[in-house]
Amino acid sequence: MIRTGLTLLAVGSFALFGWLPRVAAAPVKTGGQVRTITVRPGLVRRTARLYVPTSLPKGTRVPLVVVLHGGFGVADGAAKQTGFDAQAERGKFLVVYPQGILRSWNAGICCGPAMKNNVDDVRFITTLLDRLEADYRIDTRRMYATGISNGGMMAYRLACEAPDRFAAIAPVAATLTISGCRPPQPVSLLHIHGMEDGNVPFAGGVGSKSLQQRAVAYPPVRAGIDRFVEIDSCGAKPNAHVNGKVTTETWKSCHDHRTIELITISDGGHSWPGGRRMSDKLDAPSTALDATATIWAFFAAHPRP
Residue 108's identity, in one-letter code, is G
Work out the pLDDT band at 43, boundaries 50, 70, 90.
confident
Q: Is 21 helix (H, G, I), strand (E, B) or coil?
A: coil
Beta carbons within 10 angstroms of residue 235's beta carbon: 12
Report the mean per-residue pLDDT for the chain.
90
Domain boundaries, the chain: 30-300
**What letter would DSSP give residue 107?**
-
| Tens of pLDDT, residues 219-274 | 999 999 999 999 999 988 999 999 999 999 999 889 989 999 999 999 999 999 99
Query: Looking at domain 30-300, does it have CATH number 3.40.50.1820?
Result: yes
Of the listed ranges 18-32, 152-166, 258-272, the one predicted with least confidence: 18-32
The confidence score (pLDDT) of residue 171 equals 98
Q: What angle do CA 258, 228, 276 make, to 5 degrees?
A: 85
The confidence score (pLDDT) of residue 17 equals 32
| Tens of pLDDT, residues 101-139 | 999 999 999 999 999 999 999 999 999 999 999 999 999
pLDDT at 11 over 60: no
**What letter would DSSP give residue 29?**
P
- Please, are residues 295 and 187 in contact by the beta-carbon 8 Å criterion? no
